[in-house]
């Protein structure tokens, strides 16, 4: 079942406000479990992890910055 535009917008907000900070804390703690790598390796790991967190949520974030397509269809139909 596809999510409506409003539902995707709400989920995106929750992911960014709650999920992203939790993911950052987990990523930092996972890096701290190992011996501290050089700064370039650590930076590379954080860049890769920063990219990977968004992959599962692509369908939620896609089109969120655009105007609501359902509102335009409702306006044209009336």
Enumerate the domain spans of the chain: 28-56
Report the C-alpha gap between 44 and 31 in whole angstroms.
12
67 — pLDDT class (breaks 50, 70, 90): confident
What's the rounded mean pLDDT across residues 46-74? 82
Give per-residue pLDDT as tens, 37-58. 889 988 898 899 888 888 888 8
Percent of the chain with pLDDT over 70: 90
Give per-residue pLDDT as tens, 11-41. 999 999 999 999 999 888 888 888 888 899 8
């Amino acid at each position: 079942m596809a999510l409506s535009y409003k539902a995707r917008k709400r989920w995106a907000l929750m992911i960014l406000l709650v999920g992203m900070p939790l993911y950052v804390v987990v990523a930092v703690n996972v890096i701290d479990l190992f011996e501290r790598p050089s700064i370039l390796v650590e930076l590379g790991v954080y860049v890769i992890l920063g990219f990977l967190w968004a992959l599962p949520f692509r369908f939620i974030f896609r089109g969120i910055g655009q105007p609501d397509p359902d509102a335009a269809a409702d306006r044209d139909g009336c």
